[in-house]
Structure 1
């Protein structure tokens, strides 16, 4: 497969998702009652599904068809404007909030989904402009455009149903609607003559968006434990985050075979879960610092790290043949995880020991990978 590099315009587009990541973490952390309710978690999941679905639709076009011409550049800028205003709404109550739009009061969920529909309409326009510019419209491209149209219809129908439904179930309606947006493309892709995405480009895009999300975690660590006030904690927590990222890079950049023709959907879905996990760790770090939210913070950090590792191991299906996981290395990972997680739970009220154990865990994971690599070599 011919390698396709990520363009500067795609990197520019991803900047919106820095704001989105900050807003998503805020949904978990900024609770008026200082209680993380199920409804709050559901709102976080729904918001995450919605924003990353738009990103996936755009990435599918950019991966398969983008020529990086003026049409792509102008439409990307337009999409960024709409998306930027869309993700800024994460700071409001999506189900019950009201936004003032040029003097008109509009329910936040209607305004939010209107902006989402406009963004998907811009993505559909990209296909149309591409067809007109290059006089090329394949059956696969038609299927891709149908996916965008179906997504728009799903959001419209969900919004209409939500409008006539009690506020308490609006999040459930959108959860079902957005989940369908992730499911139906898998059936449509089977009809495509060439269902594979450009894998090198896909991996690079996933890596870059993960870097942006980890960046939010780094900022949270530095703000929560500045070196001038928490010298040892600043070092230990940064080691924890740093080696989590090193472990991610080691798996996706070194062990993974970037030049293969395989289904990219598992890689995409696993990365969405990884992004959710990183956001959970970010919110958990901030909550753990606040004494009255310590238990919630501990739970979110440990659950986030667990999901992060599980999903990252899930990507090993794309590894090079010579560095596939073996029973020995899996046992090593499990042993380190169980021992360190148990110690973290036991000492969860001692901040220094809690983070030190998690930092040691991330370092040992790297050592296990390095040992396995040397054995393969």
Structure 2
């Protein structure tokens, strides 16, 4: 079956930029150490809010992928959605206390997508298809955010974060229970994977901005070069795995692609945060060391989860997995054995990123040779 790629419109790229701004704002929650550490709640809030933002991005992206034709009302809805994202992003800070605006912004974003699906359902004259299924899921999620917002108004702030967690889990797992008459042929896999690639590449761009503090024009050393090589190693690994080894022209429900990219984007940002914490000079080195190790492991597990989309005849063998695990273990041990040493920290991270990049590059070259 021939899969025709759907063109990614320029307005979609602009939309992605708005969301990357929101994601970049998240670093303000944990990038400033307090007494040499990070408050556990701040890290928890960071991860939860990351999922909220990425889920909101995915709701609109899924609609565009399935039904979007960029008619005039879709442009209007996209603009309203983006304005709400900016308001939502500007509520995020280390002293985050404006949950009301955050929740209202989320509700606006969600209801705009409900409106778009409703227009399509009216055209189909049915709520039994994928559009009706999406409307049901989104309205359930909206209901939870409404309850969360009412909790703010009535002074029950202690339950707000947990209601938002429930909204995330509902949006993530309800599709497994409310499947409806879902026709996976409505999903344009080439378009969807290109959207995820673009969002991830822009996130890498934010990572580069985050490490520019290391590049001191008045005091040259090798630290900024090593930091940059770590980011390049991650970027190269992502491109090889997702862009070159994955077969884009296929018919898939693509749930694995969606969920893995949540963790890919979050892990890239956490590596950036770890570098910023080290640069601050006010952090216990164990914190960024463990953050980098966990983030890199999550990053490589997440990109490798997409091996199910490989081209026919291409597979990840047990010895490839064993080698990547060994590389990650050696790099992690190097980081832990040199806590307090910036060069030891960076060399350990380089072992993980560049060596895993080498494994994927070797697989790509062998596949091309065949």
Normalised to the residue count of structure 1, the TM-score between the two structures is 0.89
Partner of residue 93 from structure 1, selected from 67, 92, 95: 95
Partner of residue 350 from structure 1, selected from 328, 338, 341: 341
Name structure 1 gaps, 5 residues minimum: 98-107
Partner of residue 332 from structure 2, selected from 331, 341, 352: 341
CA shift, 1:192, in A, is: 1.9
Q: How does 1:257-276 map to 2 (within 5 A)?
A: 257-276=247-266
CA shift, 1:219, in A, is: 0.9
Q: Indicate yes or no: 2:294 matched with 1:303.
A: yes
Cα distance, 1:91–1:371 mapped onto 2, change above 3 Å? same
Q: Which residue of 1 aligns with 2:243?
A: 253
Q: Indicate yes or no: 2:321 matched with 1:330.
A: yes
User: How many residues matched?
Assistant: 363
Contact 2:151 2:157 in 1 (8 A): no
Cα distance, 1:340–1:65 mapped onto 2, change above 3 Å? same
Normalised to the residue count of structure 2, the TM-score between the two structures is 0.91
Contact 2:66 2:187 in 1 (8 A): yes
Q: Which residue of 2 aligns with 1:238?
A: 228
Q: Indicate yes or no: 2:69 matched with 1:79.
A: no
C-alpha distance in 2 between matches for 1:42 and 1:188: 29
Partner of residue 147 from structure 1, selected from 118, 137, 143: 137
Cα distance, 1:228–1:305 mapped onto 2, change above 3 Å? farther
CA shift, 1:275, in A, is: 1.1
Q: Which residue of 2 aligns with 1:370?
A: 361
CA shift, 1:215, in A, is: 1.3
Deviation readout 1:90-129 (Å, 9 max, x if unpaired) = 12634xx2xxxxxxxxxx1122111111121222222344
Q: Indicate yes or no: 2:60 matched with 1:58.
A: yes
Cα distance, 1:166–1:136 mapped onto 2, change above 3 Å? closer
CA shift, 1:162, in A, is: 5.5
- For the aligned residue pairs, the C-alpha RMSD in angstroms reads 2.2
Q: Which residue of 2 aligns with 1:8?
A: 10
Partner of residue 224 from structure 1, selected from 201, 214, 223: 214
CA shift, 1:43, in A, is: 1.0
Cα distance, 1:62–1:364 mapped onto 2, change above 3 Å? same
Q: Secondary structure of the equivalent of 1:117? A: helix
C-alpha distance in 1 between matches for 2:67 and 2:171: 21
C-alpha distance in 1 between matches for 2:182 and 2:144: 22
CA shift, 1:187, in A, is: 2.1
C-alpha distance in 1 between matches for 2:159 and 2:119: 39
Q: Which residue of 2 aligns with 1:43?
A: 45
Q: Indicate yes or no: 2:115 matched with 1:125.
A: yes
Q: Secondary structure of the equivalent of 1:15? A: helix
Contact 1:63 1:202 in 2 (8 A): yes
Cα distance, 1:326–1:147 mapped onto 2, change above 3 Å? same
Cα distance, 1:167–1:353 mapped onto 2, change above 3 Å? same
CA shift, 1:167, in A, is: 3.9
C-alpha distance in 2 between matches for 1:259 and 1:190: 25
More moved, 27-36 vs 64-73: 27-36
Cα distance, 1:31–1:360 mapped onto 2, change above 3 Å? closer
Deviation readout 1:2-39 (Å, 9 max, x if unpaired) = 21121111111111112112111111213555531221
More moved, 315-324 vs 191-200: 191-200
Name structure 2 gaps, 5 residues minimum: none
Contact 1:286 1:297 in 2 (8 A): no
C-alpha distance in 1 between matches for 2:270 and 2:133: 35
Cα distance, 1:163–1:117 mapped onto 2, change above 3 Å? same
CA shift, 1:54, in A, is: 1.1
